[in-house]
Amino acid sequence: MFSTLKEDIQTVFARDPAARSVLEVIFWYPGFHALLFHRLAHKLWGLRFRWLARGVSQMGRLFTGIEIHPGAKIGRRFFIDHGMGVVIGETAEVGDDVLMYHGVTLGGVSLAKTKRHPTIEDKVVIGAGAKILGPVVVGRNSKIGAGSVVVRDVPPYSTVVGVPGRVVFRTPGEASRNNDLDHGELPDPETRALQCLMDQVRELDHQVQELREEMKRSREDKEPGDKDRPAAPLPKSLP
């Protein structure tokens, strides 16, 4: 137990440059508190003390603003930064070394009592306000941009942005080891699509201008008598 607590505290220092002391982490970090409540609730859930487990979970929600269902499976070195508004459903699975920001939802889209919540593999970063819905799998070392809505599986080493979430690029494994998610450098797929359309419109406009110039030159090159000469009659059809 103490080794797990020590690891959780070390994870806070590794992920949050604002952390200044161990006492600060123990007393004032809601993400750290939420994990403590969840571990107790998950243990009770596994022992089939379901009512009591839900009570502990709700106490954690009251004190931290983070709601983690007792049935959810959480890996090691999981860190929730700030944490307010985070919701993790019953059948969700979170791997090791996952970094999650406030407002994230790991939710379900089905009423069936089956696996209906996401699976987050190791070393995934989930930006603030992102929603991952349904029994989708987010591959290891992937990054989900803030405000994205993910409803399909995400391959490993991918970066996802948008509504619905789209993979905007994939990086080799060695280049994705860090947990940085620089939103200022993320591409905007909608803006890129509009830019492609504008480029095509400009190209078509250029071609139309060239055709007009060519037709104007062809009219100017005609002989003066050609303008008044009647057009040749169409040939009669064969009997």
Query: Does residue 146 contact residue 125 with C-beta atoms inside 8 Å?
Result: no
Is 38 a residue of the active site? no
- Angstrom CA distances, 195 to 166, 191, 201, 207, stand at 17, 6, 10, 19
Q: Identify the three-state secondary structure at position 233.
A: coil
Of 69, 117, 183, 206, catalytic: 117
Give me the phi and psi of 13, to 5 degrees please: -65, -35
**By C-alpha distance, which of 148, 35, 39 is closest to 124?**
148
Task: Please report where in the chains the tokens 């919540």 appear, as a residue.
Answer: 117
Return the DSSP state at 187. Answer: -
Give the residue numbers annotated as catalytic, written as ranges.
Answer: 117
